[in-house]
């Protein structure tokens, strides 16, 4: 029987408990899951690609069938190179669906054999996004319930460094 591999791409700036919920769900469904940290500079990430990749590595270290990688290419090229069977995407709210549906159709047009699997996080994580967490953290709000402890520390340190530059 063929091993089934899924790619979970994202910016992960930083990885949140919502991302981790999706990763754990995907890890139960697939033999292996590759967390593919995207170098999408259009999103203007707070952490650089190496920092984000390392933070993901820290956050998923206890999940056996998960690997971490980064990429700077079309997702379909990366999926093809990894010989993956599916792309995992998280859906939190209805507004996510329109964008994700458009991307899945484009990916399928470029790589007809690729399947996109949508997973919803637990309701306790449904409203979490990296952008909102960074914004709350930037103004000193409590972000401990949204991030693993090591990631919260890294985000607070990064926000302090950035604040000094402002």
Domain assignment of residue 111, yes or no: yes
In this prediction the pTM is 0.93
User: Tens of pLDDT along 130-162?
Assistant: 999 999 999 999 999 999 999 999 999 999 987
Q: What integer is the mean pLDDT of 63-92?
A: 95
**pLDDT at residue 128 in the model:** 87
pLDDT in tens, 6-33: 999 999 999 999 999 999 999 999 999 9
The answer to whether the beta carbons of residues 25 and 2 sit under 8 Å apart is no
Average confidence score pLDDT of the chain: 92
Counted domains in the chain: 1
pLDDT at 69: 98
Catalytic residue among 19, 25, 52, 134: 19
- Domain residues for 113? 5-126
Which CATH number covers residue 74? 3.40.50.620
Look at residue 86 in the predicted model and tell me its pLDDT.
97
Identify the active-site residue in 3, 4, 43, 144: 43
Annotate 128-160 with b (16+ C-beta within 10 A) or e (fewer).
bbbeebbeebeeeeebeebbbeebbebbeebbe
- 80 belongs to a structural domain: yes
Predicted local confidence at residue 70, as pLDDT: 96
- Is 71 inside a domain boundary? yes
Residue 104 reports pLDDT greater than 50: yes
Is 162 a member of any domain? Answer: no
Does 110 reside within a domain?
A: yes
Highest mean pLDDT: which range of 61-70, 95-104, 157-166: 61-70
Q: Is residue 61 part of a domain?
A: yes
Task: Please indicate whether residue 125 is annotated as part of the active site.
Answer: no
Active-site residue identified among 82, 92, 138, 156: 92
Whether 130 sits among the annotated catalytic residues: the reply is yes
Report if residue 163 sits inside a domain. Answer: no
Would residue 29 count as lying in a domain? yes
pLDDT of the residue at 166: 45
Which residues are within 8 A (CB) of 107 and not within 5 positions of it... i.e. 6 or more apart? 75, 76, 79, 87, 114, 116
**What confidence tens digit (pLDDT) does each residue in 25-66 have?**
999 999 999 999 999 777 789 999 999 999 999 999 999 999
């Amino acid at each position: 029987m063929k091993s089934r591999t899924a790619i979970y791409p994202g910016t992960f700036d930083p990885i949140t408990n919502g991302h981790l919920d999706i990763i754990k769900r995907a890890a139960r469904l697939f033999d292996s899951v590759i967390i593919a940290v995207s170098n999408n500079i259009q999103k203007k990430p707070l952490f650089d690609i190496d920092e984000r990749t390392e933070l993901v590595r820290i956050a998923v270290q206890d999940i056996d069938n998960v690997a971490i990688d980064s990429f700077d290419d079309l997702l379909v090229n990366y999926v093809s190179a990894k010989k993956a069977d599916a792309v995992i995407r998280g859906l939190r709210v209805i507004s996510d669906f329109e964008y994700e549906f458009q991307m899945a159709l484009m990916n399928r047009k470029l790589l007809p054999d690729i399947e996109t699997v949508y997973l919803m996080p637990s309701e306790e994580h449904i409203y979490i996004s990296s952008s909102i967490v960074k914004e709350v953290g930037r103004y000193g709000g409590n972000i401990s319930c949204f991030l693993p402890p090591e990631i919260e520390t890294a985000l607070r340190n990064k926000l302090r460094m950035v604040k000094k530059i402002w």
